[in-house]
Structure formats: structure tokens, C-alpha cells
Amino acid sequence: MVVRIDGRVVADSHDSRTLREASYPPVQYIPIADVDQSVLRRSDTTSYCPYKGDASYYSVETSDGTTLRDVIWTYETPYPAVADIAGRIAFYADRVEITLPDAAA
């Protein structure tokens, strides 16, 4: 999975995990280590999901200095039912360009 913002690769991972939840589109979670750490900015934003737990957010600084606020979220200590996403992040797909590997490859 490759994530681009304004054409720049900000994440490249061969270890994505897909989380399917209710009627929502599937979400890809990747290790935070697979994200370009130089663009990450920890946010003060938090939220709560009754199925996954407490979420924290990251903003991304683009190459032109613009900050995309809270474009990434993570569940650092998710509930046991979704423990597989601990230490992983997800991007808002409507705010970045996500390329998934070809399933036939």
C-alpha cells in the first residue's frame, strides 16, 4: 500500500491489515514505522469508538508547508476484539491518494 499527498509518497507498506466494520468501507491499517516520520505531527485531537476504543490523531506537513490536520488516526491500545490494529495507523481515504497492491500480483 502506498499513500501519497500532493504526489509525494508519505507511506509505503507491505504489511497492511484491512478492518471491516458494519456498513463502512474497509480501512487499511499499516505500521506507523512505514510512514515518513519527518512529515508526522502529533495532534491533540482524540475521539472514542465504542468498538475500537480511544483514537489519537496525526497531522501531516506537506512539501509546501501546509498542514493537513488529523488526516491519520490510530488506536494505540484498542479493545481486544481489534487488537490487531495496535501500533498501526489509518489515513482518511478522501484526503490522500491510496494505492493498494494488485491482488492478482
Into how many domains does the chain fold? 1
Report the alpha-carbon angle 14-16-18, nearest 5: 150
The answer on pLDDT for 56 being more than 90 is yes
Residue 104: inside a domain, yes or no?
A: no
CB 34 within 8 A of CB 59: no
Which residues span the domain enclosing 15?
2-99
Residue 105: inside a domain, yes or no?
A: no
Residue 82: inside a domain, yes or no?
A: yes
Q: What local confidence, expressed as pLDDT, does residue 105 receive?
A: 47
- Least Cα distance to 41 among 4, 72, 6 occurs for 72
Residue 39: inside a domain, yes or no?
A: yes
Residue 73: inside a domain, yes or no?
A: yes
Residue 15 sits in a domain of what CATH number? 2.170.150.40
Write the pLDDT tens digit of every residue in 22-55: 888 999 999 999 999 999 999 999 999 999 999 9
